[in-house]
């Protein structure tokens, strides 16, 4: 009995004496070793600097994949690279010190390590892979050292606790969606060597109020916290957390793709006549934007330019615009009417999809030559109106019924009635159209006479009749000249 007890105690002592590295598996490749798949790693582990007399130089791909109970890792200075998905879903890992020997952090290396609150990226690292820290939702701040030249696509995607980012002076490229959905991010400092920023790099950063660009940067600049090219002719990115109104500077000729996308607090924007291009997704999901006047310098409205601007009640499209892109006004659920000038020859597919409040679409010209697929799908209350004398119109257009667009007397506004001893009213129709007002005194046997000719400016004109008191009755009608 005593012998069995002694054996048990010795066995327990042996187990307790096993070093933490027993949870780590290694393999040899040539003259070096690396950490290979170690699915049972838990708690605090220490990676050995040598294995079978060879230096451990890397943490291999998926080495600690799905190690849910891994809480901390000590990495020796012999390691030069952290492989792809090395710590994927290590959800209990709280902090990580990467030694100064490491030069690259692979794609998905710390993906979904949502307990990771801090990480030190040393000056030796030159590359941060795609999605390296995606969904590290407890990570609060990060400094990209001056040695890093590339930040991969989605590198810090959905790091919702990240408040500030400093991008070092050696970074040349920030990948697509690199900081997308970092909803607590308030400021971004862009280093002097950044020459390209990927699509959606800072998309849905709803707390972001400021971009700061190093003075030595030869490509980008910042004016009042907004990101521009160096010459400030292209507005590249508006901070997603900035609210209220914004006047675009007169130097700007191009509103870049996704420049205001997701700026949910933006209420008004003034676009100067210097702007010639509104890019794809330029104002997409600006859910507080109420009205937009597009200047007559613009010729094209990009794909999805204003889609899901759910508070947009009015938009003015000038006679310079020739094409409206796919999905351009999709989901603009507060838009009640829109006028399409006669310059427009192309309307993209789904351009006005799901605009549930849209009652009238008013075309000033002939049927556009190019019509995308189902421009009004889901817009079930709209009627398409066209002017007399225009061509190509049938009983329906884009799946919606059509009707002749005629001048209207506004009887329900303050203009209707007696004013300064004259009877008058507002006439609405297409801007630039000429309307003749005729009057008669007897509808049973009318003798219509012209009493006024009005040219409509901005879609309306006021008519008044100083002679209305000279007749026992006075009736009016409108016609084109």
Query: Would you state the pLDDT for residue 457?
Result: 87
Contacts 24+ apart (CB under 8 A), 29-36: 32/56, 32/57, 32/58, 33/57, 34/58, 34/59, 34/60, 35/59, 35/60, 35/63, 35/64, 36/60, 36/63
The helix/strand/coil state of 349 is coil
Residue with the bigger pLDDT between 100 and 472: it is: 100
Would you say residue 11 has pLDDT above 50?
A: no
pLDDT level of residue 450 (50, 70, 90 thresholds): very high
**What's the whole-number mean pLDDT along residues 64-75?**
95
**What's the whole-number mean pLDDT along residues 291-298?**
95
Query: Would you state the pLDDT for residue 47?
Result: 96
Query: Would you state the pLDDT for residue 472?
Result: 86
What does 273-334 look like in DSSP terms, one character per residue?
A: TT--EE-TTTTTT-TT--EEE--TT--EE-TTTTTT-TT--EEE--TT--EE-TTTTTT-TT
Average pLDDT value over all residues in the chain: 92
Query: Would you state the pLDDT for residue 19?
Result: 42
Strands in 47-99 per DSSP E: 50-51, 54-59, 70-74, 81-82, 95-97
Min mean pLDDT across 142-146, 294-298, 354-358 is at 142-146
Would you say residue 447 has pLDDT above 80?
A: yes
Contact 74, 51 (CB under 8 A): no
Would you say residue 14 has pLDDT above 80?
A: no
Give the chain's radius of gyration (CA, Å). 33
Would you say residue 13 has pLDDT above 70?
A: no
Angle at 133 between CA 132 and CA 138, to 5 degrees: 170
Q: What is the pLDDT of residues 223-282, one digit of tens each?
A: 999 999 999 999 999 999 998 999 999 999 999 999 999 999 999 999 999 999 999 999
Q: What is the pLDDT of residues 159-169, one digit of tens each?
A: 999 998 999 89
Strands in 164-167's sheet, in edge-to-edge order, are 141-144, 164-167, 187-190, 210-213
Query: Would you state the pLDDT for residue 161?
Result: 97
Q: What is the pLDDT of residues 427-438, one digit of tens each?
A: 999 888 899 999
Q: What is the pLDDT of residues 118-132, one digit of tens each?
A: 888 999 999 999 999
> Which residue reads 């109020």 in tokens?
209
**What's the whole-number mean pLDDT along residues 411-425?**
86
Query: Would you state the pLDDT for residue 20?
Result: 41
Measured CA to CA, the distance from residue 35 to residue 84 in angstroms comes to 12
Query: Would you state the pLDDT for residue 466?
Result: 86
> Which residue reads 């109420």 in tokens?
290
Query: Would you state the pLDDT for residue 115?
Result: 96
What does 232-282 look like in DSSP terms, one character per residue?
A: S-EEEE--TT--EEEE--TT--EE-TTSSTT-TTEEEEE--TT--EE-TTT
Would you say residue 6 has pLDDT above 70?
A: no
Would you say residue 21 has pLDDT above 90?
A: no
Query: Would you state the pLDDT for residue 22?
Result: 58
């Amino acid at each position: 009995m005593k012998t069995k007890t002694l054996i048990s105690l010795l066995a327990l002592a042996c187990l307790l004496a096993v070093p933490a590295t027993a949870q780590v598996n290694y393999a040899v490749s040539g003259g070096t070793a690396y950490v290979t798949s170690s699915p049972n790693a838990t708690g605090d582990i220490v990676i050995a600097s040598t294995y079978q007399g060879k230096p451990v130089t890397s943490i291999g791909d998926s080495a600690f994949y799905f190690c849910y109970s891994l809480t901390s890792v000590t990495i020796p200075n012999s390691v030069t690279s952290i492989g792809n998905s090395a710590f994927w879903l290590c959800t209990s890992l709280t902090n990580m010190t990467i030694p100064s020997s490491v030069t690259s952090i692979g794609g998905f290396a710390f993906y979904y390590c949502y307990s990771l609150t801090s990480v030190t990226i040393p000056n030796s690292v030159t590359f941060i892979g795609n999605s390296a820290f995606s969904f590290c939702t407890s990570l609060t701040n990060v400094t990209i050292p001056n040695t890093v030249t590339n930040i991969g696509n989605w590198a810090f995607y959905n790091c919702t606790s990240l408040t500030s980012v400093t991008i070092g002076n050696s970074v040349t490229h920030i990948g697509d969606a690199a900081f997308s959905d970092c909803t607590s991010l308030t400021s971004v400092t862009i280093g002097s060597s950044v020459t390209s920023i990927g699509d959606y790099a800072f998309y849905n950063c709803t707390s972001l109020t400021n971009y700061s660009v190093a003075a030595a940067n030869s490509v980008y600049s910042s004016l009042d916290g907004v990101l521009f090219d160096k010459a400030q002719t292209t507005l590249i990115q508006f901070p997603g957390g900035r609210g209220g109104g914004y006047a675009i500077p007169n130097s700007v000729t191009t509103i870049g793709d996704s420049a205001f996308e997701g700026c949910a607090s933006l209420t008004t924007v003034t676009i100067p006549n210097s702007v010639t291009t509104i890019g794809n997704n330029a104002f997409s999901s600006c859910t507080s934007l109420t009205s937009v006047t597009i200047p007559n310098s613009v010729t094209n409205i990009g794909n999805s330019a204003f889609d899901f601007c759910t508070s947009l009640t009015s938009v003015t499209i000038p006679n310079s615009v020739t094409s409206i892109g796919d999905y351009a006004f999709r989901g603009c659920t507060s838009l009640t009417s829109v006028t399409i000038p006669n310059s427009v020859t192309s309307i993209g597919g789904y351009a006005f999809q799901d605009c549930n409040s849209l009652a009238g679409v008013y075309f000033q010209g002939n049927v556009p030559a190019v019509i995308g697929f189902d421009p009004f799908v889901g817009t079930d209350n709209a009627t398409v109106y066209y002017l007399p004398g225009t061509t190509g119109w049938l009983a329906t257009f884009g799946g919606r019924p059509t009707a002749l667009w005629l001048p209207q007397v506004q009887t329900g506004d303050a203009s209707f009635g007696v004013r300064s001893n004259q009877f008058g009213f507002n006439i609405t129709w297409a801007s630039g159209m000429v309307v003749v007002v005729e009057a008669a005194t007897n509808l049973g046997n009318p003798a219509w006479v012209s009493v006024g000719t009005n040219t409509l400016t901005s879609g309306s004109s006021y008519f008044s009749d100083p002679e209305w008191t000279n007749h026992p009755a006075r009736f009016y009608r409108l016609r084109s000249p």
